[in-house]
Amino acid sequence: MKRTLYGPDHEAYRDTVREFLSREVVPHHEDWDRERWIDPAVFARAAKAGIYALQIPAEYGGAGEPDYRYRMVVCEEIARVNTLSFGVTISLQDDLVLHYLLDLTNDEQKQRWLPGFAAGELIGALAMTEPGAGSDLRGIRTTAVRNGDHWILNGQKTFISSGIMADLVVVAARTGDKLSLFVVERDTPGFERGRKLDKIGLPGQDTSELYFRDAEVPAANLLGDEGKGLGYLMSHLPRERLGVTAEAIATSRAIFDQTAEYCRQRQAFGAPLTDKQHIRFELAEMATEIDIAQAFVDQSVIAYNAGELTPIDAAKGKWYVSELQKRVIDRCLQLHGGFGYMLEYPVARAYVDTRVKTIYGGTTEIMKEIIGRDIAAG
């Protein structure tokens, strides 16, 4: 079935993204994964090429382009070349941090942070998760106490994507009995980076622990209104979950396409694998499931652009497509046989790099609970 999501401008942009990735990312991504660190300079080049931060208004150095279809193009092209550590870092900027800065900052804060973000000179992170608080945001224990013209933060965060690389971190902390959001900058006194966590996948994308020990955050770094942090976090989850969904469907299709070609070329018992009915049935099932899921994702993008993507529909896409990705990549690895277990094959790297998709941004179980409660409420 022919997709109708994109127009000529999006396809022209695809050429730009493809050229950038082939020149600036593909030659280096294996080194980045091996070294467990992406060269931060690539983000300045990516921003200059328009690979991310398109939504930032022109007055702050961006393109002022909110159309999520451009973001989808980036997801698809990154999946095609299997540079997923780089892709997740870009998603963290575009689908998480940036929208807090666009939606909640005052004019002075916009002037301070958005130009650097638009230039790729500032990398952001979002710090919600704590050792005792994951999806349960009300369990956050990090505190912020006002002291003159500063807030004093104390607490610990964990599993923070880009926590080591980040120049600024949006931190959720308890102010009294409610949550507030703060932007903590790199050189803040009392702010410390913990160890870089050793993950099973996405090795180039750093994930870390963060510590706040009487961290002195200027009062001017309060994001939005005091005490409204929980509402801000909840209202931004649909964009985050759409980002996970977009990456998941793109990677599912890319790995499937590569696997289908492998099956056409791979000889077994004197004939291509695709001569076997079982192989054809496996490919047919995956192709059908991906196409059906793609239709939902494309419609979600249209709804998002129109301001109509609901938290419920975002949760549906997030759990279903991330679980589909898990099934598809597992089946694709099986079709590769022993070669699928070798990291030189994209399916092997994707197998470990994408496993987290059913966990971060809200686990499958939490997504189902959100949907189920809505159904029960009638």
Q: Which are the catalytic amino acids? A: 240
b/e map 166-182, b = 16+ CB within 10 Å:
bbbbbbbbbbeeebbbb
What is residue 309's three-state secondary structure?
coil
Separation of alpha carbons 295 and 102, rounded Å = 29
**Side chain identity at 225, as an amino acid letter?**
D
Q: Residue 29, SS3?
A: helix
Longest CA span, the chain = 79
CA distances from 31 to 36, 198, 204, 308, 359 (A): 8, 17, 8, 41, 27
Nearest alpha carbon to residue 80 among 244, 258, 285, 262: 258
Chain mean position to CA 300: 16
Q: From CA 82, how far away is CA 85, in angstroms rounded?
A: 9
